[in-house]
Amino acid sequence: EAQVTQNPRYLITVTGKKLTVTCSQNMNHEYMSWYRQDPGLGLRQIYYSMNVEVTDKGDVPEGYKVSRKEKRNFPLILESPSPNQTSLYFCASSLSRGSGQFFGPGTRLTVL
Amino acid sequence: EDKVVQSPLSLVVHEGDTVTLNCSYEVTNFRSLLWYKQEKKAPTFLFMLTSSGIEKKSGRLSSILDKKELSSILNITATQTGDSAIYLCAVPYNNNDMRFGAGTRLTVKP
């Protein structure tokens, strides 16, 4: 089954404790991206990747890192999480830029 | 500044009504416009539009792009309670970034 998976689905952590949210897709998609969704602000892109070893900043990259060492995986790293990073995070992938994206199920992160 | 604006932000209708959702955009180097439906969880892809005037249709949903007016509409006919969701419009801009509108929250009452 074609899908984008994210882990964990829910996470409660404390300020400053490094965390990684994994994202994996099994559709051989080149384009992958991370979004955060906050009430009243909609979906905002954090980082995206055109292909292996090619990543770039979206609208709200501060406080986040990503890597794309393999085509299928695109982890999101929060080196020192802060409460303003409490949000719902989505990973998404698509065949190419500008085409319809498949979204993962979301990760709800709370930073205390 | 590149932006995507959706209207209305919220809409309440009764089953059987027809609704029209709007998305306007201001982006340089326009390539495509995409519509998504978000129920309780992740957005799901509905349509991708690249050419003006060509309607995309899926069941009771249809969408069309007007490049002259820099806008798109999403129509839903004979609405059902299962159509209740947030409908999102997205446009790639700059190099490869994707910008989403704030969404239209549609509530269909029985």
Measured between alpha carbons, how far is B77 from B18 in angstroms, rounded to an integer?
Answer: 4
Name the residue in chain A with its Cα closest to that of B40.
A105
Nearest CB to B92 within list A40, A44, A97: A97
Q: What is the pLDDT of residues B13-69, one digit of tens each?
A: 999 999 999 999 998 778 899 999 999 889 999 999 998 989 999 999 999 999 899
Q: What is the pLDDT of residues B58-83, one digit of tens each?
A: 999 999 999 899 999 999 999 999 99
pLDDT of amino acid A76? 98
pLDDT of amino acid B22? 98
Calculated CA dihedral for residues B54, B52, B39, B103, nearest 10 degrees:
-160
**Cβ <8 Å between B42 and A58:** no
Of the pLDDT bands very low, low, confident and very high (cuts 50, 70, 90), residue B95 is: low
Q: How far is CA A19 from CA A84, B68, B89, in A?
A: 15, 46, 31
**Residues of B with Cβ-Cβ distance to A108 under 8 angstroms:** none
**Cβ <8 Å between B43 and A103:** yes
Measured between alpha carbons, how far is A72 from B30 in angstroms, rounded to an integer?
Answer: 28
Q: Is the pLDDT of residue B2 over 90?
A: no
Nearest CB to B92 within list A43, A98, A104: A98
